[in-house]
């Protein structure tokens, strides 16, 4: 008989669909005092990676420049039998090239702003003050309690 852990684990396809469905990821980096620094981030999931952007002077960006590792968490559900989520341990690439950072912004507008040309112009104007973040998962832990069929 499979363990409970094995019963609730998402397949790769389920994880991909879950990442497409969710809207915000919580990013945990290591702060300057060694404690976790947790912040929400909009993202685009693409080919097994997640991309987002943040202000270059943000604590998150400074933390990732010092230590390019992060743990991401996404979750949904209210009742125990609905809980789904993923924890992704990631290596992170901080992108500073303005044209590439613009492309991160464009992708975010496509996902969250319906591809609005006006919003793309607004985001492109912000690109010189931003950095792109590319999260490459090295380990994933997933759960989908719906697979338990109401039994615990």
Per-residue buried b or exposed e for 70-93, using 16+ beta carbons within 10 Å of the residue's own CB: bbbebeeeeeeeebbbbbbbbebe
3 pLDDT band (50/70/90 cuts)?
A: confident
Query: 152 in a domain, yes or no?
Result: no
| Domain limits for position 25 | 4-147
Residue 76 lies in a domain: yes
Query: Looking at the domain assignment, is residue 73 inside a domain?
Result: yes
Identify whether 30 is part of a domain: yes
Which two tokens mark 129?
Answer: 């003050």
**Distance between CA 120 and CA 132 in Å, rounded?**
15
Q: Is it the case that residue 5 has pLDDT exceeding 80? A: no
- The answer to whether residue 139 is domain-embedded is yes
Per the confidence metrics, is the pTM higher than 0.85? Answer: yes
CATH number, residue 99: 2.30.110.10
Mean of pLDDT values over 35-61: 96
Q: How many distinct structural domains can be found in the chain?
A: 1
């Amino acid at each position: 008989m499979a363990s409970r852990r094995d019963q609730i684990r998402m397949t790769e396809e389920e994880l991909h669909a879950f990442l497409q469905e969710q809207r915000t990821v919580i990013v945990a980096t290591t702060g300057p005092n060694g404690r976790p620094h947790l912040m929400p981030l909009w993202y685009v999931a693409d080919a097994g990676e997640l991309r987002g952007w943040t202000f270059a002077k943000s604590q998150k960006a400074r933390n990732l420049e010092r230590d390019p590792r992060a743990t991401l968490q996404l979750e949904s559900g209210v009742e125990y039998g609905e809980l789904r989520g993923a924890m992704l341990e990631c290596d992170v690439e901080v992108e500073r090239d303005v044209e590439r950072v613009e492309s991160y912004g464009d992708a975010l507008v496509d996902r969250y702003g319906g591809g609005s040309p006006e919003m793309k112009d607004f985001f492109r104007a912000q690109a010189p003050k931003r950095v792109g973040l590319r999260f490459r998962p090295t380990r994933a832990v997933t759960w989908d309690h719906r697979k338990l069929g109401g039994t615990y």
